[in-house]
Amino acid sequence: MAFKPLHDRVLVRRVESDEKTKGGLIIPDTAKEKPAEGEIVSVGEGARKDSGELIAPAVKAGDKVLFGKWSGTEVTLDGEELLIMKESDILGIIG
């Protein structure tokens, strides 16, 4: 993919949620919530301090992350739905 986010933004691919509940009930697509978990696809070079010094991002491509329910902007690149969000919208990295 030939897309690189600018500054402190990251490109995230949502991780698909389960089709069934623990009890075995199948959840239809219309009733599913969008997952707040994803994988980092691409990362910008980082934010800048007032002095102009670069602050390196804490995440890297391939990291699994949790983010807020309403975080980011949905975009479609190469037929794939992705999210562009600021690094500060990411709640944590899943180890």
d(Cα 87, Cα 11) in Å, to the nearest integer? 10
Convert the pLDDT of each residue in 38-75 to its tens digit.
Answer: 999 999 999 899 998 999 999 999 999 999 888 889 99
Rounded to an integer, the average pLDDT of 6-16 is 90
Sorting pLDDT into bands at 50, 70 and 90, what band is 87? very high
Sorting pLDDT into bands at 50, 70 and 90, what band is 15? confident
Convert the pLDDT of each residue in 26-44 to its tens digit.
Answer: 666 565 566 688 999 999 9
State how beta strands 37-43 and 47-48 pair.
unpaired
